[in-house]
Amino acid sequence: MRVSTKGRYALRMLVDLAEHKNDGFIALKDIAKRQNISKKYLEQIVSVFNKTSILKTNRGFQGGYKLAVPPEKCTVGEIIRLTEGTLSPLACIDGDEVNCERSGECSTLFVWQGLKDVVTDYLEGITLQDIVDKKHENYANDYVI
């Protein structure tokens, strides 16, 4: 599995919204500036999340976006699946069932299924809130006298 720029930027955008969850609706231009990501690119990413229950949208004056779910309920795995389509390293094990005519004699199938399980478990175990907390923890330890 390779995470594209779309997946990485989507995660950064949603972490930004999680960090500013108490600020109301956030304009894409503000996220774009803070994250150094093109506003046009964020517009493409937002279109993916408009079809989900993750984002709330407000149009017009003081419009923008905010998380529709608490940051501790939104996992990195969910975000990557929405932007990348899958967490699977191979197409043949993408769904619940193995989709390969060689699966009966495939001596490496368990390797790929194990990798998928490890990646899924890891990414499903990290929430937006975990990322925000880790970021604040790292900044708290970064001081100069």
* Per-residue pLDDT reduced to its tens digit, 29-62: 999 999 999 999 999 999 999 889 999 998 888 8
Query: What is the distance between the alpha carbons of residues 75 and 41, in angstroms, rounded to a whole number?
Result: 22
pLDDT value for 6:
96
Q: Is the pLDDT of residue 100 over 80?
A: no
Nearest to 68 by CA among 95, 50, 90, 82: 50
The model carries a pTM of: 0.87
Q: In the CATH hierarchy, which top-level class contains the domain 5-140?
A: mainly alpha
* Per-residue pLDDT reduced to its tens digit, 65-95: 999 999 999 999 999 999 999 888 888 888 7
DSSP helix/strand/coil, 55: strand
* Per-residue pLDDT reduced to its tens digit, 114-125: 999 999 999 999
Under a CB-based contact definition with an 8 Å cutoff, are residues 37 and 53 in contact?
A: no
According to DSSP, the residues that pair with 56 across neighbouring strands are: 66
